[in-house]
């Protein structure tokens, strides 16, 4: 059975943003992060978007049920259109992973693969201190990307919480939250070593996608 949903897992700084961006460019996948899905709904002023806007505006947190609802809606639309979907930042917890399996009921859950980009903690700290984020779409770039503007045209800035103490805390939080999600996927989890230049990481990702029978779209080249 072909894979239609890739759950991208990786600590902050593991290069998830770069991998997702290249999958979008080279494989034509739909890339959904919780952040961009929420922003989209707000921009579209959909019923859910207005709900989200109210919650965020009053300083509240968007709960799991609402996030699940937004993911499901976008997922169904994309899968109906035959797209491969990359989920980034979702599921963040085991209950969300279970909710995703329910969305893919009727044997479709076997079409979900979790792809973890594995990088040693000390390498993550070094990378994060050099990281830039787009003010417009939230995509992130590392020093190795050598870019000054986002592919969407947005300005890139350093994140306030990329200092070493906050970074260490975020990595701990990630590990505590995400390890159970990775474990949840069991036989559906594939690991890719995230060390080295983005090109090397992408070669490993490409080999994995080939194995999963996800084909590159045309003769698209990775941006240098």
Cβ–Cβ under 8 Å, residues 20 and 9: no
Q: Which is nearer to Zn ion, 21 or 194 (CB)?
A: 21
CA-CA-CA-CA torsion for 65, 42, 113, 173, nearest 10 degrees? Answer: -70
Which residue is catalytic, options 170, 188, 203, 216?
A: 170
Tokens at 193, concatenated? 């070593």
159 flagged as catalytic: yes
Cβ–Cβ under 8 Å, residues 78 and 10: no
The rounded distance, in Å, linking the Cα atoms of 36 and 137 is 7
Q: Which is nearer to Zn ion, 12 or 91 (CB)?
A: 12
170 flagged as catalytic: yes
Which residue is catalytic, options 22, 30, 127, 131?
A: 131
Which residue is catalytic, options 24, 53, 92, 111?
A: 92
Cβ 154 to Zn ion shortest distance, Å: 4
44 flagged as catalytic: no
Residue 151 class from Cβ within 10 Å (0-12 exposed, 13-18 middle, 19+ buried)? middle
Cβ 19 to Zn ion shortest distance, Å: 16
190 flagged as catalytic: no
Q: Which is nearer to Zn ion, 152 or 207 (CB)?
A: 152
- 3-class secondary structure, 7: strand
Which residue is catalytic, options 53, 111, 151, 159?
A: 159
Cβ 211 to Zn ion shortest distance, Å: 31
State the residues that interact with Zn ion by CB under 5 A. 134, 136-137, 139, 150, 152, 154
**b/e per residue, 3-34, with b = 16+ CB within 10 A?**
bbbbbbbbbbbbbbbbbbbbbebbbebbbbbb
127 flagged as catalytic: no
Cβ 136 to Zn ion shortest distance, Å: 5
Catalytic residue annotation = 16, 92, 131, 159, 170
């Amino acid at each position: 059975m072909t894979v239609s949903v890739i759950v991208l897992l990786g600590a902050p700084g593991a290069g998830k943003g770069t991998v997702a961006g290249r999958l979008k460019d080279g494989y034509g996948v739909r890339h959904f992060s919780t952040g961009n899905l929420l922003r989209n709904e707000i921009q579209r002023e959909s019923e859910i978007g207005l709900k989200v806007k109210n919650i965020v505006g009053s300083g509240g947190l968007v709960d799991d049920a609402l996030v699940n609802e937004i993911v499901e809606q976008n997922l169904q639309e994309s899968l109906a259109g035959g797209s491969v979907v990359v989920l980034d930042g979702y599921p963040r917890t085991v209950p969300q992973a279970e909710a995703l399996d329910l969305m893919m009921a009727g044997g479709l859950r076997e079409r979900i693969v979790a792809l973890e980009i594995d990088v040693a903690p000390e390498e993550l700290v070094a990378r994060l201190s050099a990281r830039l984020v787009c003010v417009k779409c939230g995509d992130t770039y590392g020093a190795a990307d050598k870019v000054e503007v986002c592919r969407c045209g947005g300005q890139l800035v350093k994140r306030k919480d990329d200092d070493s103490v906050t970074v260490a805390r975020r990595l701990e939080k990630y590990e505590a939250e995400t390890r159970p999600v990775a474990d949840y996927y069991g036989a559906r989890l594939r690991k890719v070593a995230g060390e080295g230049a983005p090109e090397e990481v992408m070669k490993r990702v490409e080999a994995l996608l080939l194995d999963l029978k996800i084909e590159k779209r045309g003769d698209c080249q990775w941006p240098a």
